């Protein structure tokens, strides 16, 4: 196994598209999600030694997350690869409501899944990956981390946290002999279940809902497959990480 891509939230949306894109490039995938990606068959030939492995884990559950990163399986999988990618794609959109009416439990769940899991996995990744390996981390960020939206305060805050984590980690790695590269990437607006969830929100809870309805009705949403291919091309590029916080549309055509 020369290249291993760890993809969180791999069972749907952009995560599922990333699995397909990786397999097509002969990259072994380890998917981490609560649910499995079913009925997946690679669409290219010659992939007998490349496969998708899946582990069921609730990334909003700290105990489950810590159990994973402390396991022999985690250490063994990372130690076996010469090139390692960590794609922190998993994320929760809810709560979509103003401060003061949000369920406290939803806030904690979103912060753990969107930020806590990404930071813990990055920490465990750097700790366990061979120092000689080519190691790269992508945080899937969002324009919402760089532009505030009323009613979307938790999601905005968690994506902004990923951006700043990437900035800090990149500074730490500057003097490393074989630095771990990291980039927090906003992929643009994608036609996924998360977009459907946004369109179901009330205008009282999310005043910008019509903007996202118009994106869908005008055919302006990007396909998950197209975004996944461009994101993987950027991840594999020689200059990956030169822009620590970026927009995919600025770095990959």
pLDDT at 45: 45
Percent of the chain scored above 90 by pLDDT? Answer: 81
pLDDT at 44: 46
Closest C-alpha to 247, from 159, 136, 135 = 159
The superfamily CATH assigns to domain 3-190+224-251 is: NAD(P)-binding Rossmann-like Domain (3.40.50.720)
Nearest alpha carbon to residue 123 among 99, 88, 94, 154: 88
Given a cut of 80, whether residue 49 has pLDDT beyond it is no
Tokens of 69: 């990163």
Structure tokens at 79: 């130690």
Residues 20/43, Cβ–Cβ less than 8 Å: yes
Question: Listing from the earlier edge strand, what are the strands of the sheet with 181-186?
Answer: 52-56, 28-33, 3-8, 83-88, 134-140, 181-186, 245-247
Sorting pLDDT into bands at 50, 70 and 90, what band is 221? confident
d(CA 192, CA 190): 6
pTM above 0.85, yes or no: yes
């Amino acid at each position: 196994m020369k290249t291993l891509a760890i993809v969180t939230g791999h069972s749907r949306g952009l995560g599922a598209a990333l699995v397909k894109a990786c397999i097509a490039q002969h990259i072994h995938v380890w998917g981490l999600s609560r649910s499995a990606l079913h009925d997946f068959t690679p669409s290219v030939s010659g992939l007998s030694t490349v496969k998708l492995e899946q582990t069921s884990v609730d990334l909003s559950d700290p105990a489950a997350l810590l159990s994973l990163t402390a396991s022999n399986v985690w250490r063994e999988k990372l130690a076996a690869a010469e090139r390692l990618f960590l794609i922190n794609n998993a994320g929760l959109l809810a709560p979509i409501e103003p401060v003061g009416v949000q369920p406290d439990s939803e806030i904690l769940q979103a912060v753990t899944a969107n930020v806590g899991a990404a930071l813990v996995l990055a920490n465990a990744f750097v700790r366990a990956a061979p120092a000689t390996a080519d190691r790269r981390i992508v945080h899937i960020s969002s324009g919402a981390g760089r532009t505030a939206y009323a009613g979307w305060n938790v999601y905005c805050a968690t994506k902004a946290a990923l951006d700043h984590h990437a900035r800090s980690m990149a500074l730490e790695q500057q003097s490393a002999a074989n630095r771990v590269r990291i980039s927090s990437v906003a992929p643009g607006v994608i036609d996924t279940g998360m977009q459907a969830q946004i369109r179901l929100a009330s205008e009282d809870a999310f005043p910008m809902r019509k903007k996202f309805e118009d994106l869908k009705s005008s055919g302006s949403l990007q396909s998950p497959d197209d975004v996944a291919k461009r994101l993987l091309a950027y991840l594999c590029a020689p200059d990956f990480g030169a822009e620590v916080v970026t927009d995919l549309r600025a770095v990959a055509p």
